[in-house]
Amino acid sequence: MKKIQTIPLGVFLFLCFCFAECHKNKTPPPDNPYGLPNATQTGANTFACRLNNVNFIANGKQSYPLLVGAQIISDTLFVGGSMSGNVSWTLLVQINRSLIQGELYYIDSVNQSIKLIADSSCLGINYNITQKNATSGIIQLTKLDNSKKIVSGSFSCVIPIESCDSLRVTDGRFDIIYR
């Protein structure tokens, strides 16, 4: 009868460690300290920003009342996100000229605009839908992939609201599969 040779325990553990599959955290670290979704370029269907230092997050992976969408018609891009709760808010980002990846567009209310559509005034409910336009700000297209239909970018602006403090929109980001 043949004797089976055994591997010493230390060698066995070393080999197990060397050939074990490493389970790394595949979620990238946050790119902001506020809890906004990371600024991605994968078609994650996200739209988020900070409104006067409060998170506004719409996520297309969830159902109503959190909605996102994008559409390109000719040379015009429409990107928007909605969030409902005690009040309903929608932000619409629009670029009305040649769309170029990496381009920085300045808000001018004609060719580029950001609009707030809300049923509230100064964060109080009034059940009247109002629309306010940004008077200054920027939009940047970080990705425009026409084959995969992905549009990603960032934005910030100031939206004046009568008898209220201006609405400061910061850390805006979107990553949407458009139609």
Write the pLDDT tens digit of every residue in 108-155: 878 899 998 887 666 555 556 778 899 999 999 999 999 999 999 999
User: Taking 50 as the threshold, does the pLDDT of residue 64 lie above it?
Assistant: no
pLDDT band at 62 (very low <50, low <70, confident <90, very high): very low
- Residue 137's alpha-carbon distances to 111, 117, 141, 146, in angstroms, are 13, 17, 14, 26
Residue 1 counted as domain residue: no
Residue 3 counted as domain residue: no
Residue 29 counted as domain residue: yes
Residue 88 counted as domain residue: yes
Across residues 26-50, what is the average pLDDT?
92
pLDDT for residue 111 = 86
Domain that holds residue 71: 9-177
Q: Are the C-beta atoms of 106 and 138 separated by less than 8 Å?
A: yes
The token duo for 173 is: 């980001």
Residue 79 counted as domain residue: yes
Residue 170 counted as domain residue: yes
What total number of domains does the chain contain? 1
- Residue 42's alpha-carbon distances to 135, 143, 175, in angstroms, are 30, 9, 7
pTM: 0.78
pLDDT for residue 13 = 47
Residue 37 counted as domain residue: yes
Nearest-angstrom CA–CA distance, 91 and 81:
6
User: Taking 70 as the threshold, does the pLDDT of residue 15 lie above it?
Assistant: no
Residue 66 counted as domain residue: yes
Nearest-angstrom CA–CA distance, 111 and 171:
22
Across residues 3-24, what is the average pLDDT?
53
Least confident of 22-31, 71-80, 143-152: 22-31
Q: Average pLDDT over the chain, rounded to whole?
A: 82
